[in-house]
């Protein structure tokens, strides 16, 4: 079995396990939503914006995320849109801080002029959610994306900050 199939199988198993845990214990589940703004660093710094919606059971959770980075033809930097499902592990919200690590998989579309690539993407990262008041938090996140296929740039880094609402 090659590494691609092994990673895909493990991601599928993790997503199924997270889904089963969510279904088996809905009373203990917590959800949150994030609107974010940040920067994508490859090949140049460009604005990224997006949203994420997640559900968690104490330590383990699942999240759906969409992000969009605009094309910059003057620097030959392609647009990038990513959609991914992520599994995360997080600390308890001690002293208003909640650390997390995440891994996920999904699809991307990269465009530069008339060239376009759509394929599979893997991502890994982590961050922190900081409580401001009640259910309102600030979220800071760092990710490394590995784009498959023939993208202009196969490894893309992203950092963002966003407003997070827990419910």
- The residues spanned by each domain of the chain are 3-23+30-166
Q: What percent of the chain has pLDDT over 90?
A: 74
φ/ψ region of 134 (left if φ > 0, alpha if ψ in -120 to 50, else beta) reads: left
Reported as half-sphere exposure (CB side, CA atoms, 13 A), residue 150 has a value of: 4
Mean pLDDT of the chain: 90
The pLDDT of 48-72, averaged and rounded, is 95
Q: At CB < 8 A and 24+ separation, what contacts does 33-37 make?
A: 33/164, 33/165, 33/167, 34/139, 34/162, 34/163, 34/164, 34/165, 35/162, 35/163, 36/67, 36/139, 36/141, 36/160, 36/161, 36/162, 36/163, 37/160, 37/161, 37/162
**Is it true that domain 3-23+30-166 has CATH number 2.40.160.20?**
yes
- Residue 66, beta-bridge partner list: 51, 83
pLDDT higher at 80 or 1: 80
Q: What is the pLDDT of residues 8-50, one digit of tens each?
A: 777 777 777 766 665 554 445 689 999 999 999 988 999 999 9
- CB-based contact 116:128 (threshold 8 Å): no
Q: How many CB atoms are located within 10 Å of the residue 20 CB?
A: 10
The C-alpha atoms of residue 148 and residue 150 are separated, in whole angstroms, by 7
Is residue 145 within 8 Å of residue 122, measured between CB atoms?
yes
pTM metric for this prediction: 0.81
Q: Tens of pLDDT along 126-158? A: 999 999 999 999 999 999 999 999 999 999 999
Which residues are 129's β-sheet partners? 98, 139
Residue 3: is its pLDDT beyond 70?
no
Q: Please give the Cα distance from 61 to 15 (Å, whole number).
A: 9
């Amino acid at each position: 079995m090659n590494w691609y199939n092994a990673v895909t199988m493990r991601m599928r198993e993790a997503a199924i396990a997270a889904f089963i845990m969510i279904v088996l214990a809905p009373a203990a589940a917590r959800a949150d939503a994030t609107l974010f703004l940040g920067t994508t660093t490859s090949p140049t710094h460009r604005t990224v914006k997006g949203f994420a919606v997640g559900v968690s059971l104490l330590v383990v959770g699942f999240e759906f995320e969409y992000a969009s980075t605009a094309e910059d033809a003057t620097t030959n930097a392609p647009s990038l849109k990513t959609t991914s499902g992520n599994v995360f592990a997080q600390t308890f919200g001690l002293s208003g801080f909640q650390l997390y690590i995440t891994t996920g998989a999904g699809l991307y579309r990269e465009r530069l002029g008339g060239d376009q690539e759509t394929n599979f993407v893997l991502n890994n990262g982590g961050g922190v959610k900081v409580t401001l008041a009640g259910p309102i938090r600030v979220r800071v996140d760092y990710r490394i994306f590995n784009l498959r296929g023939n993208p202009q740039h196969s490894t893309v880094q992203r950092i963002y900050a966003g407003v997070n609402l827990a419910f």
